[in-house]
Amino acid sequence: MFERTRYTVPLPSGRAMVLGERTLVMGILNITPDSFSDGGLHLDVDHAVHAGLQLVEDGADILDIGGESTRPGAQAVGEREEMRRVLPVVEKLAGRTAALISIDTYKSRVAREALARGAVIINDISGLQYDPALARVAAETQAAMVLMHTRGHSREMYERAVYDNVITEVCSELEDAMQRAIDGGVLREAIVLDPGFGFAKRPEHSYALLAGLGELAALGRPILSGPSRKSFLKDALGEREPAGREWGTAAGVAASVLLGAHIVRVHNVKAMTDVVRVADRLRRARFIETGA
């Protein structure tokens, strides 16, 4: 187990997200027809809102709402279509739950409109490589910003999955992403980092990153871990559909918590909240009750 630094991440309107006292659960709410795990399930606004509220009831602290699949090989979606999908859902959920709303987008206009409707976190899978203006949006709105590691766009990312030392290189490239954000006006205190399991990474790279997650603590920012149902789990489990990877996901989530993640991003919130609670209890037993 790794010691976990506590952080207070500023949010719009004077709010804050406290990280490190316990692991926060980010529930995934995809408003897409083609996401790898749950595409097409929540295209209707009312159905999506109901699903989001259920995620909160199941234990989600954060709802991550996305309108474009970013799985490898996925087709890009125009910003108008993305906004049509996500903005009504963001607005309705922000008005009906105290859970934090995250907008999963790399487009600055989509982020700005979602933040105007109640989102408080931008989750950028590109680490500010696709739309640098996204940093200015975060800075002007005082939104928290998740920067994920990847290389290239979805159609080419596996071609760039070549590493001499995946942990060292991911850390270095996440430092570059942080610098892009800071140069764009984002407060360092507002940044959360995501190693990006499965993005521009072969299964062996994702497993090495998960095993070495504690080393990312040296970057001095909270860590978000997203192993949920990812294809790298098949390397251990064998061929199976995303919904059949729940036990593998549970192992990845437990490992993430024990190795120092502050937030875990998951599909099955109810089950993974149980995993997080037990893993957090183990952390407390190790670092608090024994005085270690």
Task: Report the alpha-carbon distance of residue 122 to residue 146 in Å, rounded.
Answer: 6
Task: Report the alpha-carbon distance of residue 22 to residue 257 in Å, rounded.
Answer: 9
**Tokens coding 215:** 């080393």
| Length of the chain as a residue count | 292
Task: Report the alpha-carbon distance of residue 285 to residue 280 in Å, rounded.
Answer: 9
Beta-carbon contacts of residue 156 (< 8 Å; ≥ 6 apart):
none
Is 201 among the residues known to form the active site? no
CB of 198 within 8 A of CB of 188?
no
Classify residue 255 by burial, with Cβ atoms within 10 Å: 0-12, 13-18, 19+: middle
Inter-helix orientation angle 108-116/79-94, to 10°? 20
Task: Report the alpha-carbon distance of residue 154 to residue 71 in Å, rounded.
Answer: 7
- Identify residue 268 by its one-letter amino acid code: N
Is 277 among the residues known to form the active site? no
Task: Report the alpha-carbon distance of residue 199 to residue 143 in Å, rounded.
Answer: 24
The β-bridge relationship of strands 24-30 and 263-266 is parallel
Q: Which of 92, 112, 230, 245 is catalytic?
A: 230
Q: Which of 265, 270, 277, 281 is catalytic?
A: 265
Three-state DSSP class for 212? coil
Nearest to 262 by CA among 146, 138, 150: 146
What's the CA angle centered on 251, arms 248 and 256, to 5 degrees?
Answer: 125
Q: What is the DSSP letter of 155?
A: T
**Tokens coding 288:** 């608090």
Residues belonging to the active site: 230, 265
